[in-house]
Amino acid sequence: MRFHYQAWEDFVIGRNTSKETSLVSPIILSSWQRCVNRHQSPDEVISSRVPEEEVNKRRTVNQNLINVAKPFLEELYELVKGSGFTVVLLDQDACILEILGDQDFLERHKHFQTGEIWDEETKGTNAMGIVKIEKIPVQVYATEHYVRKNHNITCSGAPIRGANGEMIGILDVSGDFNKAHAHTLGMVVAAVKAIQNELSLKAAHAEIIKSYNNVNAIIETISDGIVSFDEYGRITNMNPVAIKILDVNGSNYQGKQLKSILKNDEIFDRILRNGRSIYDKEFLLERNHKQVHFLFSAQPIIDHAKEICGGVANLREIKYVHRLINQMVGARALFTFEDIIGESASIKESIRIAKDIAASMSSIILQGESGTGKEMFAQAIHNESSFSLGPFMVINCGAIPRDLIESELFGYEDGAFTGAKRGGRAGKFELANGGTIFLDEIGDMPLDTQVSLLRVLQEKQVVRIGGYKSIPINVRVIAATNKDIKEEVRKGNFREDLYYRLNVINITIPPLRKREGDILLLSKYYIKKCSTMLGYTVSNLDPQAVRSLEEYYWPGNVRELANAMERAVNMAKGKEIALEHLPENLQKQTNLGKKKAKDPHTLEKREKEIILETLEAVNWNISKGSSILGISRNTLYRKINKYEITMTG
């Protein structure tokens, strides 16, 4: 000690910094030098206790450190208790937060109390002050202290580091110099490591809890059902959506076998034994006397040893899947009754009836010629009904091949027939669940399909082709035809029982030629619409064009009129629309008087002439002819057969 004292006297008192000081460590010398440079007095210990309010604030900020370190402080103090030592916990500024010490030592050293700052600036060279600066473990022995009054103590301090490696506090053991031991610093360092380990564990645990809560919050709010299970297939967690889908007890599901709920062992062998994922497997289960219908996807969870330790499953209710499909394919109704244009008594009566029965659950048949707007009426009825929030599904019974129509309507199971899509597919009735299905050209439906349709309408459930499970549906059916359906029943082409099942409410949509005053009204509407779309000034109709429009038979009805006006706007380019701008079949027609035109035989004769003239003008190209006439190819073929029209020349 005398060598240290001599060095201290030469360096600190004598200011002889060139004197031999090899026995003093560089860390101590550096500290002495800083104190000398600050002109600190070696005979004065500066009191620097912060106010009580500041002490409380510092303790609050460092509460986690205090809570973790305190048991280790107590354990460390038990080792030095009664030997004139004190154990001190300080913050990163070297302010004492906690202190445990022998009473006689604390009475003799008044600066060892909570709130006291033990940095170099106030206490000179000391272990706590050096740790604050150098951030390394250090022991300051007796006369190595800069201030004379501290020569009778020895301090051993070490930095406490947080999770990111930054210093968050200091641990120190101070006591009488003659009782100090070289291993004291080792004890302090060991205690610090224990504190840091505990801090790391606590931080890791907090992070795990945070991550768990984050994941749990996501799972709880996600719109799909989520189920986690362990390596034995036992349920470990479920979100509320999964509980609802599977219809299980929300407080008693943990530990239950998921495969027993799903009644399927194969998928769990695939996930938990083979480590393979499953995508969109369809389930239709009986749960608590009701059916649950959902898609199931799952994948295994692999641990750090690359072993399967469980899995997680995703469940989506089939109605939401169907809703998404319907949104993607545009299965929704756009038109309302306000979109149906007409002032004639006949169209107003049809609208009145349709509005009156829109809220009903009953099936409807819409009858009318091609192009009269049957689908527009169907959409308007749907949007006025209690099914308006559901899908609006359209299927043209005359446009689907006979061997495919049942699979389109009712769906099929995996492997039901050659070419069937893997995994099966839902039919239009399933996709329309909760909404409306519009069966256009119902009169062209094959008889064997009519039998299946009748069963679906009676039982309100479908069975997919190749399947055996009944799927409940709640669908409003609107059928449409341009045929005389009663005549088709008489001929044996349409089942009478299906006719009466569908024909609960019958609405006839009048042809354009029977809508007094609507031809000119609709013409002006489509001229304005097309002009706006094409960027032209809205045109007027000259008298000759008006007369031609009003005297024309309009076999293609409103659809043909809309096409004619679009052509006229394109030809006129913003000028007044004349006869020459109208389609050729309107230009060539003879000027029949209105009275004569109302004769059914004359009208049919004129319709035959118009069809023949149109076909000859396009060299009997059915596609072009149907486009000019504003009717479908099937309708054109029917009219050719009806009027026995043959190619001449």
Query: What are 203's two structure tokens?
Result: 């931080």
471-491 pLDDT tens trace: 888 899 999 998 888 888 998
pLDDT in tens, 616-631: 877 888 887 877 776 7
In this predicted structure, which of 3-12, 260-269, 300-309, 321-330 has the lowest mean pLDDT? 321-330
What is the residue type of 317? Answer: E
pLDDT at 390: 85
- Segments of 288-345 assigned E as strands: 290-302, 308-317
Place of tokens 């009986």: 286
d(CA 124, CA 581): 106
Determine the average pLDDT of the residues in 108-126. Answer: 92
Tell me what percent of the residues of the chain surpass a pLDDT of 90: 38
Q: Find, among 86, 87, 91, 100, the residue nearest to 63 by Cα.
A: 91
Answer for the pair 429, 318: CB distance below 8 angstroms, yes or no. Answer: no
DSSP assignments along 416-427, one per residue = SSTTPPTT-EE-
Q: Name the phi and psi angles at 69, rounded to 5.
A: -80, -25
Backbone angles phi, psi at 225, to 5 degrees: -80, 135
Residue 347, pLDDT above cutoff 50: yes
pLDDT (tens digit, 9 = 90+) per residue, 507-558?
999 999 999 889 999 999 999 999 998 888 888 899 899 999 988 888 889 9
Residue 599 has pLDDT above 60, yes or no: no
- Encoded amino acid at 387, one letter: F
At 592, the pLDDT band (50, 70, 90 cuts) reads very low
pLDDT tens-digit readout, 20-66? 566 788 999 999 999 999 989 998 878 889 999 999 999 999 999 99
Segment 406-449, tens digit of pLDDT: 888 888 887 666 655 666 788 889 888 888 999 999 988 988 89
pLDDT at position 597: 45
Residue 308: Cβ-neighbour burial (10 angstroms; 0-12, 13-18, 19+)? middle
The pLDDT-based confidence of 349 (bands split at 50, 70, 90) is very high
Domain chopping of the chain, boundaries: 2-203, 234-317, 330-508, 517-642
Q: What does the alpha-carbon distance between residue 295 and residue 322 come to, in Å, rounded to a whole number?
A: 11
Pick the CATH number of 2-203 from 3.20.20.70, 1.10.3720.10, 3.30.450.40, 3.40.50.261: 3.30.450.40
Binned at pLDDT 50, 70 and 90, residue 367 comes out as very high
Task: Specify the amino acid at residue 342.
Answer: G
Contacting residues for 113 by C-beta, under 8 A, at least 6 apart: 49, 96, 99, 106
Phi and psi angles of residue 236, each rounded to the nearest 5 degrees, phi first? -110, -25
The band of 601, judged by pLDDT with boundaries at 50, 70 and 90, is: low
Strand duo 425-426 + 225-230: pairing: unpaired
* Confidence (pLDDT) at 59: 95
| CB 66 within 8 Å of CB 98 | yes
Question: 2-203 with 330-508: one CATH topology?
Answer: no
- H/E run at residue 73: helix 63-80
**CATH number for the segment(s) 234-317:** 3.30.450.20
3-state secondary structure 259-283: HHHHCCCHHHHHHHHCCCCEEEEEE
pLDDT given for residue 495 in this prediction: 92
Q: Identify the three-state secondary structure at position 328.
A: helix
* Confidence category of residue 596, pLDDT binned at 50, 70, 90: very low
- Cite the DSSP H helix spans in 165-269: 184-221, 240-246, 258-262, 266-268
Whether the Cβ atoms of residue 294 and residue 283 lie closer than 8 Å to each other: yes
pLDDT confidence band for 93 (50 / 70 / 90): very high
Longest dimension (CA), the chain: 140
What is the distance between the terminal CA atoms of the chain, rounded to a whole angstrom?
135
Beta-bridged to residue 462, according to DSSP, are 471
Could you tell me which residues come within 8 angstroms of residue 619 by beta carbon, excluding any fewer than 6 positions away? none
Can you tell me whether residue 391 is helix, strand or coil?
coil
Q: What is the pLDDT of residue 330?
A: 54
Does domain 330-508 sit in CATH 3.40.50.720?
no
**Mean pLDDT for the chain?**
86
Q: Does the predicted TM-score (pTM) go above 0.85? A: no
**CB count in 10 Å sphere of residue 410:** 23
Q: 273: exposed, middle or buried (C-beta count within 10 Å: 0-12, 13-18, 19+)?
A: exposed
Cα angle 486-488-493, degrees, rounded to a multiple of 5? 140
pLDDT (tens digit, 9 = 90+) per residue, 184-216?
899 999 999 999 999 999 888 888 888 888 888
Q: Which class for 463: exposed (0-12), middle (13-18), buried (19 or more C-beta within 10 A)?
A: middle
Q: Which amino acid is at 188?
A: V
Which pLDDT score, from 0 to 100, does residue 499 have? 92
Which one is the CATH code of 517-642: 3.20.20.70, 3.50.50.60, 1.10.8.60, 1.10.10.10?
1.10.8.60
Q: What span, in angstroms and rounded, lies between the C-alpha atoms of 628 and 617?
A: 10
pLDDT attached to residue 90:
96
Instruction: Quote the pLDDT of residue 391.
Output: 86
pLDDT for the residue 437: 92
